Amino acid sequence: LTRPLTLPFVFVKGSATRRLSEPTVSRLAVYLRVLLDMTKQRRTTVSSEELAEKIGVNHNTVRRDFWSLGVLGIRGVGYNTDNLILELSQALGLSQERSVVIMGAGNLGSALANYRGFPDRGFRLVAVFDVDPTKIGTHVGGLPVRGVEELATLVRNRDLHIGMIATPAAQAQAAADSLVEGGIHSILNFAPTRISAPADVSVRYIDLSVELQILSFYSSGQPRRNQVKERA
């Protein structure tokens, strides 16, 4: 055997030790979303079948996901919603508060700063940065816009977890570099460009054009794969 084995990427939960695959992690966040919607209706249990239908996956997948997480259901009944919410939140690391900063106080940066969903789950917006001197000092979403050079100071005082890049494409790499220098390991990039970062930094992209283009593909005569499959 010459190739290195996959590193033991595991999630430990009680006595169960399992690997959470990337698709599974993405779905966990979606389950959580649906479950929170459901508890508003005072539901106490859900079946894998019901969740599966709501998010458009196979029910076996749902059970496998929960099983990988180490969450147990009750046969003949389903899963306890409160318990699921707790376990999902824990697995996603939402039990500890995450601080978020925004780079760029333009249209998008302001819209993000005004997003009211942050405190709900454990996200806390702590600062908004920009390079434009005319913007610095103005307020967006109740926070003062600061110059990027203040990032370093802020880092010294508290841990920063997630950086969102909402600058124009041309400044995105510089923004990313500042974030990385500030010790941030998770970046959500809204700028319409790809950025590079060290291997220990997770970068996710939200690119409107890319999304529109993918939709464009499927609207030009090509059926969506999983919908074709679900029809079978």
Verify binding: residue 23, DNA, rule CB under 7 A: yes
Verify binding: residue 79, DNA, rule CB under 7 A: yes
Looking only at residues 124 through 153 of this chain, which bind a second copy when binding is defined by CB under 8 A?
A: none
Looking only at residues 28 through 57 of this chain, which bind a second copy when binding is defined by CB under 8 A?
A: 28-30, 32-34, 37, 54-55
- Measured distance between the N- and C-terminal CA atoms of the chain, rounded to whole angstroms: 40
Verify binding: residue 63, DNA, rule CB under 7 A: yes
Q: Which residue from 86, 93, 144, 158 is in contact with a second copy, where contact means CB under 8 A?
A: 93
Coil, helix or strand at residue 156: helix
Closest to DNA by CB, 37 or 150: 37
Verify binding: residue 83, DNA, rule CB under 7 A: no
Q: Report how far residue 134's alpha carbon sits from residue 190's, in angstroms, rounded to the nearest whole number.
A: 22
Closest to a second copy by CB, 157 or 200: 200
To a second copy, the closest distance from the beta carbon of 173 in angstroms equals 11
Interface region with DNA, contact rule CB under 7 A, candidates 16-24, 36-44, 112-120, 189-197? 16-24
Q: Is the distance from CB of 205 to CB of 228 less than 8 angstroms?
A: no
Coil, helix or strand at residue 158: coil
Coil, helix or strand at residue 123: strand
Coil, helix or strand at residue 193: coil
Looking only at residues 183 through 222 of this chain, which bind a second copy when binding is defined by CB under 8 A?
A: 185-188, 192-194, 196, 199-200, 202, 204, 206-222
* Sequence-separated (6 or more) residues with CB below 8 Å from residue 189: 164, 165, 172, 176, 195, 203, 204, 205, 206, 207
76 contact, one of DNA, a second copy, none, CB 5-8 Å limit per kind: DNA
* Sequence-separated (6 or more) residues with CB below 8 Å from residue 174: 167
Closest to DNA by CB, 76 or 133: 76
Verify binding: residue 85, a second copy, rule CB under 8 A: no
